[in-house]
Amino acid sequence: MSTTAVRSRVAVVLAVLATTLAGCGGDGEIKSPDLVKGAQEGGRLTIGISFDEPGVGFKEGDAYSGFDVDTATYVAKALGVDAKDITWVRADPGEREQLLESGKADLVVATYSITDERKQAVDFAGPYFVAHQDLLIRRNDTEITGPKTLDGRTLCSVRGTTSSDYVREHYKGDITLKEYPRYSECVAALLDGTVDAVTTDDLILAGYASQEKYKGKLKVVGDGFTDERYGIGVEKGDQELVDQVNAALEQYVDDGSWEAALRKSVGDSGYEIPDPPKPGTA
């Protein structure tokens, strides 16, 4: 083969590779989405998020950060709402349905697991993430390797969550369950020895473990024992909004922004980025 032919073939391969990477969102940036069908620019949204889940939904001063915040901001942009026109409200686990039913939030993006029971009260778009219930323990603890090694121990979770429900259903009488309103209170109890472990979704636990003030003090066991499909909560009966949010989430995954948002939020924790779920299957 001539030198010219070799150069031509290499050029073609490089061009195809560049196109493939561009299509996969290989630059690792959260992109600006196109408007979804029926959306118009200039609107406003009130969105419920967690305020005390580092790396997922976190409020510090007047700033909001985390994977759920980036997800909500992207979806809002696809609906025609700029970040400056979003009003963020606290969505604690036990209050998420109430926020939507009362009209105090248009969307809830707060590690909100899709369940049949919750579907009786609200509708869901998504899923946009699948987490797995896991355990957060002290770094020097070598005895706790999963829920079956918690017999006689004290476990902490947040009331009104699927994590608490699972422990109560499967380990009642074997594990002492202590519940607080927020995960930050559970983490504080873990650090001072009041509880032996904290349980919730691995993504939330990874966010805490990656915080600078907890590095070297806490670790995630890494043995997930449930599947938690995160959805975006919408007022019951608003199918048009559900469809629009699903269309926005499809863009979010397809243009690489979903993966970029995850790496930005919890990439430093060592959390292994999973494959995205298919939106619209909630």
**What is the pLDDT, as a whole number, of residue 1?**
42
Residue 237 in this model has a pLDDT that exceeds 50 = yes
**Domain region containing 169:** 133-220
Q: Phi, psi (5° rounding) for residue 186?
A: -65, -45
**What is the pLDDT, as a whole number, of residue 18?**
34
Structure confidence by residue, pLDDT tens digits, 48-104: 999 999 999 999 999 999 999 999 999 999 999 999 999 999 999 889 999 999 999
Same domain as 234, residue 214: no
Residue 11 in this model has a pLDDT that exceeds 50 = no
Pairing assessment for the beta strands 107-113 and 122-131 based on DSSP bridges: unpaired
Of 253, 262, 261, 156, the closest CA to residue 203 belongs to 262
CATH number of the domain at 244, please: 3.40.190.10
Same domain as 200, residue 60: no
Q: Determine, yes or no, domain membership for 281.
A: no
Same domain as 151, residue 212: yes
Task: Report residue 130 as tokens.
Answer: 């699948």
Residue 217 in this model has a pLDDT that exceeds 50 = yes
Structure confidence by residue, pLDDT tens digits, 97-132: 999 999 999 999 999 999 999 999 999 999 999 999
Same domain as 155, residue 84: no
**What is the pLDDT, as a whole number, of residue 266?**
85
Residue 23 in this model has a pLDDT that exceeds 60 = no
Same domain as 203, residue 77: no
- Element holding 125 (H helix, E strand): strand 122-131
Q: SS3 letters for 137-204? A: EECCCCCCCCHHHCCCCEEEEECCCHHHHHHHHHCECCEEEEEECCHHHHHHHHHCCCCCEEEEEHHH
- Band the pLDDT of 27: cuts 50, 70, 90: low
Q: Determine, yes or no, domain membership for 282.
A: no
Q: Determine, yes or no, domain membership for 155.
A: yes
Same domain as 250, residue 183: no
Distance (Å, whole) CA 193 – CA 224: 23
Q: Determine, yes or no, domain membership for 78.
A: yes
Residue 14 in this model has a pLDDT that exceeds 60 = no
Residue 21 in this model has a pLDDT that exceeds 70 = no
- Element holding 69 (H helix, E strand): helix 67-78
Q: Determine, yes or no, domain membership for 35.
A: no
The residue written with tokens 């979003």 in the block is: 86
Same domain as 238, residue 119: yes
**What is the pLDDT, as a whole number, of residue 28?**
86
Same domain as 190, residue 78: no
Q: Determine, yes or no, domain membership for 124.
A: yes
Q: Determine, yes or no, domain membership for 188.
A: yes
Residue 13 in this model has a pLDDT that exceeds 50 = no
Tally of CA atoms within 13 A in the half-sphere of 150 that contains its CB: 26
Same domain as 237, residue 104: yes
Q: Determine, yes or no, domain membership for 20.
A: no
Number of structural domains the chain divides into: 2
Q: What is the mean pLDDT of residues 218-228?
A: 92
Task: Report residue 126 as tokens.
Answer: 């998504």
Residue 173 in this model has a pLDDT that exceeds 70 = yes
